[in-house]
């Protein structure tokens, strides 16, 4: 078995990043200076991931106020207004408001990839986009389109975003659909999410994953999720540990490489590595050729220094699991 690790998504802001972004909003820092200083912040975050040996890394996304905002600000007929709690987190996002059919003004991902691709080397740079069903569900829809029609339009734009990002050098694509783990999610939601996901990542299936987190999905929703065309499938194991372990041990991964969220991205405390290893052993066997371990969610909910500690802990978990199972730990050191 080959085992490797990656962080699921964005990092929290360091003190420097918080002060910088606040000054940018006040107009106290010129755009060129802000860009250079943000590059330094992201470089630090990427450097920690590379030092941990992670073969796939994220740029940190500290300038993203939430997962939707960069896209909402770059599309026509979309604005942001008001605040809502982001699932059951102590975190709020500005609500995207669709007043018509969305369309691209400027790309979000490709310029970032071009900015960070050299800093990522020799690791692959991952791009993360909000899934169209989660995007539509957590937005205010005044567009005149049905919710399903809006999700289809969003998926069409995200397909363009992903294509341009891969052309620019992105080495991995992740589409986040946390709504599919919500108690209100239905099988129909999952079927639509899978259909749109498959269109977004078409042609890039070997380096793509759908990520579902904050909860374990219901059985019927998970059965639908298993129809994704991507090689990888990411599931949060530790937010609702017992339910998730029961679900995954019975239903398996449908032939996909499991990406297991086992390092808790919402808690500052160190994770119990021995317990994680025991739990993961329940979910894989000798037929498993590849396994990816990741954080349960983005780490933008915890203080910056703890996110760095969690990154190193993830690396140690990969090494220890590989050693105890006589597997290959795939890191950029090798």
In a domain, 19, yes or no: yes
In a domain, 240, yes or no: no
How sure is the predictor about 269, in pLDDT bands with cuts at 50, 70 and 90?
Answer: very high
91 or 208, which is more confident: 208
Helix/strand/coil for 328 = strand
CB 263 within 8 A of CB 296: yes
d(CA 67, CA 159): 16
Q: Quick one: CA dihedral 315, 317, 320, 326, positive or negative?
A: negative
Non-local (6+) Cβ contacts of 317 within 8 A are: 5, 262, 263, 271, 273, 276, 277, 293
pLDDT of residue 126 exceeding 70, the answer is yes
In a domain, 52, yes or no: yes
In a domain, 97, yes or no: yes
Q: What is the CATH number of the domain that holds 97?
A: 3.20.20.210
In a domain, 235, yes or no: no
Over range 121-148, report the average pLDDT.
97
Tokens standing for residue 105: 């003004």
Same domain, 85 and 224: yes
Q: Is the pTM for the entire model greater than 0.85?
A: yes
Same domain, 123 and 190: yes
Same domain, 55 and 71: no
Same domain, 71 and 217: yes
Q: What is the mean pLDDT of the chain?
A: 95
Same domain, 14 and 133: no
Same domain, 42 and 91: no
Same domain, 41 and 6: yes
Same domain, 32 and 166: no
In a domain, 71, yes or no: yes
pLDDT of residue 151 exceeding 90, the answer is yes
Same domain, 197 and 291: no
pLDDT of residue 334 exceeding 80, the answer is no
The domain total for the chain is 2
Residue 23's pLDDT is 82
CB 108 within 8 A of CB 127: no
User: Terminus-to-terminus CA distance in the chain, angstroms?
Assistant: 16
Same domain, 98 and 198: yes
Residue 145's pLDDT is 97
In a domain, 27, yes or no: yes
Q: Which domain holds residue 20?
A: 1-63+248-257+264-334
Instruction: Using the structure block, give the residue that is written with the tokens 């363009």.
Output: 160
d(CA 246, CA 137): 28
Contacts for 318-321 with beta carbons within 8 Å, 24 or more apart?
318/3, 318/4, 318/5, 318/53, 318/293, 320/273, 320/277, 321/3, 321/276, 321/277, 321/280, 321/293
Residue 90's pLDDT is 81
Same domain, 143 and 100: yes
Same domain, 19 and 35: yes
In a domain, 190, yes or no: yes
Nearest to 126 by CA among 9, 259, 228, 260: 9
């Amino acid at each position: 078995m080959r085992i490797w690790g990656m962080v699921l998504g964005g990092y929290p802001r360091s003190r420097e990043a918080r002060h910088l972004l606040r000054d940018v909003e006040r107009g106290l820092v010129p755009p060129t200076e802000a860009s250079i200083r943000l590059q330094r912040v992201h470089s630090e975050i990427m450097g920690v991931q590379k030092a941990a040996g992670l073969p796939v890394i994220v740029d940190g996304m500290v300038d993203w106020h939430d997962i939707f905002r960069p896209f909402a600000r770059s599309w026509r007929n979309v604005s942001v207004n008001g605040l809502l709690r982001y699932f059951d987190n102590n975190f709020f996002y500005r609500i995207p408001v669709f007043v018509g059919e969305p369309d691209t003004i400027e790309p979000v991902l490709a310029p970032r990839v071009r900015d960070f691709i050299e800093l990522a080397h020799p690791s692959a740079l991952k791009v993360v986009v909000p899934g169209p069903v989660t995007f539509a569900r957590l937005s205010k829809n005044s567009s005149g389109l049905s919710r399903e029609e809006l999700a289809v339009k969003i998926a069409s734009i995200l397909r363009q975003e992903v294509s341009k990002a891969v052309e620019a050098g992105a080495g991995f694509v992740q589409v986040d659909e946390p709504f599919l783990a919500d108690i209100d999610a239905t099988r129909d939601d999952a079927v639509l999410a899978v259909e749109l996901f498959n269109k977004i990542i078409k042609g890039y299936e070997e380096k793509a994953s759908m990520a579902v987190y904050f909860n374990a999905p219901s059985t019927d929703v998970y059965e639908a999720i298993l129809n994704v065309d991507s090689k990888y499938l990411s599931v949060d194991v530790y937010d609702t540990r017992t339910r998730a372990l029961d679900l995954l041990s019975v239903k398996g991964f449908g032939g996909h490489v499991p990406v297991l969220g086992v390092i808790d991205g919402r808690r500052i405390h160190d994770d119990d590595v021995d317990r994680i290893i025991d739990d993961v052993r329940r979910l894989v066997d000798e037929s498993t050729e590849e396994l990816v371990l990741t954080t349960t969610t983005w780490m933008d909910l915890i203080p910056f220094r703890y996110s760095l500690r969690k990154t190193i802990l993830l690396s140690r978990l990969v090494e220890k699991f590989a050693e105890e199972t006589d597997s290959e730990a795939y890191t950029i050191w090798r």
